Structure 1
C-alpha cells in the first residue's frame, strides 16, 4: 500500500477481498509505534459483528476502497483480538502467520522487539 496515504483516510472505506467481494468497512487502523507506518486495518465484517485484522501491505488502496489480496474465508478466520487496544508482538506474529506473511517487518527488522506494539487510529475521538 502507498506509504504516503493518511491512515485516517482509510477509516470508513469499504474493504474488498481478492475477488472484489465486499468484506466490510475499515473501522480502525493500527500503526507501528516505532515507525508510524500503518500496518493493520480492523475491518468490521458484519460476520457476527466482529472486526477482522487485515494487513495493509500488500493491500492496495483505490478510489473504490481497500483491496485485500486474500480470500474472504481466510479473512473471516483471522485471529480475533478485539479492537480498541494495542496489538502485542505475539498477536502481531499470529496475524503474520495466519496470512502467510514473512515475519520481517518494515525497516528491515527481522523480528519484533519485546516492547514493540501497535497503536491504533479510529474514527472516534480518543479523549474522554
Structure 2
C-alpha cells in the first residue's frame, strides 16, 4: 500500500508494464473517498501523451522514478475511456474495476 509521501512523489514518474514496456507518465492520483488510500492514477498515453488513462494502483511497485504496474501496455491502452476528473463516479469505478479484474479491489 502506498503512503502519502509516495503519492506526492508519483507525479511525472515513468510508468512501465510488468514486461518492461514504457506506458507513459503519471498525471493524477486518486484516493478512495472513505479510506483516503490512493487506488487509481491516470497515465499519459497515446501519441505525444495527449490521452489520460486510468490505471489501478493496487500492486504497483515504485522504485526511484519508475512505477511498474502488473498490466501490459496493450491492456492499459485499451482500458475504458473515462475522462479524468476530480472524482470517479461509482459507475466509472465499477467499469474500470471490471476491466482490470482485480479481485481484491471493489468500488
Q: 1:102 Cα deviation (Å)?
A: 1.8
Distance in 2, Cα, partners of 1:8 & 1:78: 25
RMSD: 1.7
Distance in 2, Cα, partners of 1:13 & 1:25: 5
Structure with greater proportional helix content: 2
Q: Which has the higher contact order (CA 8 A, sep 6+)?
A: 1
Distance in 2, Cα, partners of 1:10 & 1:64: 8
Residue pair 2:28, 2:41 contacting (<8 A) in 1 also: yes
- Shift of the 100–28 alpha-carbon distance from structure 1 to 2, 3 Å rule, reads same
User: Residues 1-128 of structure 1: matches in 2 within 5 Å?
Assistant: 2-6=1-5, 7-47=7-47, 49-102=50-103, 104-105=105-106, 112=107
Distance in 2, Cα, partners of 1:104 & 1:14: 24
Runs of 4+ in 1 over 2 A off after TM superposition: 2-6
Task: Return 5+ residue gaps in structure 2 as ranges.
Answer: none
- Shift of the 104–17 alpha-carbon distance from structure 1 to 2, 3 Å rule, reads closer
Secondary structure of the structure 2 residue equivalent to 1:35 = coil
Secondary structure of the structure 2 residue equivalent to 1:42 = strand
Q: TM-score, normalised by structure 2?
A: 0.88
Distance in 2, Cα, partners of 1:69 & 1:8: 21
Query: How many residues matched?
Result: 105
Larger Rg: 1
